Structure 1
């Protein structure tokens, strides 16, 4: 071999590779905005540690497994994965959410349009992806209702209301960076003109100031009942960590709940999402679907979630890594890696199809001791 021969540049073979490469593609303060958690980032780290603690017991001599088509919240899905709602995709790629949506369509997974997306929900819907639309609680309920109607008209297949952000958690990386949005990146579904999110102030997060002015920290269960009455679309409640809350959300009309600590970006000290998943699954029973997010980084993580009672998972930060790396093609690569790892994992666990993962034994099983005397309706 010639000493002058160019080195072979290997493509990413796992999401760790995508993360490492993506870190070189965006400004440091944007990377911190994507990667960071709240406070000391205890919960951010706990998500990964808790998933790593879940061991799955393989069965043998059962043939090869296949990633079979499924359905999540009445939406067809090529695997039990949907893309989580995330704000401002244009921070990492100029095509923003439209590129992400094209990749979701190609991979046959639902794409959750964030209320704070940097492309309009109508533009995103035009890609042909199966979309869900995310809502935060706004002080202006009329604006919320307008967004619901726009989502219905655009053909969104579900509404997802995020309930764990009465205020934005203190994200210290953003405070130290005095993070503010570039002028060209805007929450176009809400505020097409520049807002507080663009005003840089030392020691403050402009994005947090923007949400503090718009979000309603007083939202209640009655507000969830109100939202349920506004639309016939399936309703997903995201940000639940307690079985009693999950059961009450279903009683209010939720079709699904997402067990989530917002990727470690809200209350620092909350449990890892996967730790409370079995408790939430028991509380909900078969009355609603249960999805998991916060820390999914591999096909094995998807299988861990399914074995502990989830119907499927939401994938967040890795999608932005792929988008930063190579636009729609990068997101497709992330989703393809997850599908490959999921298929291999099914075969190695002795599961012929995705549904069989629910019967896999999980050890030790990160199950907390439930509070004494607690009963779920």
Structure 2
């Protein structure tokens, strides 16, 4: 039996009570209880009906539902971080340290969330980060997420390690009713994430397939020469179910790869990822084999941002891999200002890490990001209600961002700058 969590501001010390014979716990803030690694011990059934939230109204609600619907091993795989999970927790917590400085008596009757990148105009600056093995959440998998993002004119970045092939995801997006880019060479709403494997022919083959299928940008993950040490996955080893395949590698020693990925990804990355990847040889090689916009994802320092620009990248991805690689690195929001100062507008900055509120998006934009992406929330939304759940999740974030802009006194994404935010320490002197 699951505890009931009710988001009501009762006075502290209010005793527990019961609803329909089930015990309930009163908390001051339901979001604070929805830690990313919290998993009800008894919720191993895929068809579990959460007793806590019947109609989610925010991303934390959706996360709570997903924690109860997913199998424990899948939940641990998706939600856990490296080692003590300090960075995982920080990614979300640091947003509360930034205060918004609202301006008043401004005309905010018309708010424009649109943002442009790589020559395309999107409905908002919110996108979906690459996450693997989405069919563990819902049968529609990556195709459902792609269709949801495209239906909102927003971006999905498809992982290398998908359970729906990159071609099938592209076809699913093109098949949307009245999709404006159905016949176009490029699909603005789909980017492809690449791990550069030791076999350069395999890496180049993936790039060529993405180009042919119509993907409009290439996102190269550079913070994973080896997989981080994730204790939850060591204690409760993840195995890929036999009916879920690594679709991008079918027919290419797929049985071996499925077995490797089925062990949680560590074996696959150890056996395939290239730990010798470097700026001069490899980023230059990637730049030479494709004309797609090139994003380098996994930058946390000004020095690497400068090297990325010198290497000719088209955008910088500020990311710590969701706290799943090296623990104790900065939260991405902590690293963002340093990188934004170094980049100085020369290339766009794409941010991810810990975003759960529209105000989080607002703060990241104010601190220098041009686009803000979410990873785990897309998995949780897919678990909750499939493709429609992802649509609802994006709608929640967009509307929260719109409201934040109205209440802060700005009407355009480009106008969200440092003037709107301050660190809490500036207000902590009273």
- TM-score greater than 0.5 by the shorter chain: yes
Q: Structure 2 stretches of 5 or more lacking a match?
A: 1-19, 21-50, 175-186, 426-430
Within 1, Cα distance between the matches of 2:319 and 2:53?
36
Aligned partners of 2:367 and 2:418 also within 8 Å: no
Within 1, Cα distance between the matches of 2:244 and 2:275?
25
Aligned partners of 2:298 and 2:320 also within 8 Å: yes
| Runs of at least 4 residues off by over 6 Å | none
Aligned positions of 1:1-377 closer than 5 A: 10-64=54-108, 66-126=111-171, 127-128=173-174, 130-192=189-251, 193-195=254-256, 197-198=258-259, 205-221=263-279, 222-364=281-423
Q: Secondary structure at the match of 2:135?
A: helix
Q: CA shift at 1:361, angstroms?
A: 2.7
TM-score w.r.t. length of structure 2: 0.80
Within 1, Cα distance between the matches of 2:103 and 2:383?
39
Q: Structure 1 stretches of 5 or more lacking a match?
A: 367-377
Number of equivalenced pairs: 359
TM-score w.r.t. length of structure 1: 0.91
Aligned partners of 2:299 and 2:317 also within 8 Å: yes
CA RMSD in angstroms comes to: 2.1
Cα gap change, 1:9/1:320 in structure 2, threshold over 3 Å: closer, same or farther? Answer: closer
Of structures 1 and 2, the one scoring higher in RCO (CA 8 A, sep 6+) is: 1
Q: Deviations over 1:24-67 (max 9, x none)?
A: 22101101111000111010011112111111100001122524
Aligned partners of 2:405 and 2:411 also within 8 Å: yes
Within 1, Cα distance between the matches of 2:95 and 2:249?
35
Q: Secondary structure at the match of 1:62?
A: coil
Within 2, Cα distance between the matches of 1:191 and 1:241?
34
Aligned partners of 2:83 and 2:229 also within 8 Å: yes
Q: CA shift at 1:200, angstroms?
A: 9.9
Cα gap change, 1:180/1:35 in structure 2, threshold over 3 Å: closer, same or farther? Answer: same
Aligned partners of 1:82 and 1:109 also within 8 Å: yes
Cα gap change, 1:257/1:200 in structure 2, threshold over 3 Å: closer, same or farther? Answer: closer
Q: CA shift at 1:358, angstroms?
A: 2.1
Q: Secondary structure at the match of 1:23?
A: helix
Within 2, Cα distance between the matches of 1:290 and 1:365?
24
Q: CA shift at 1:321, angstroms?
A: 0.5
Aligned partners of 2:246 and 2:258 also within 8 Å: no
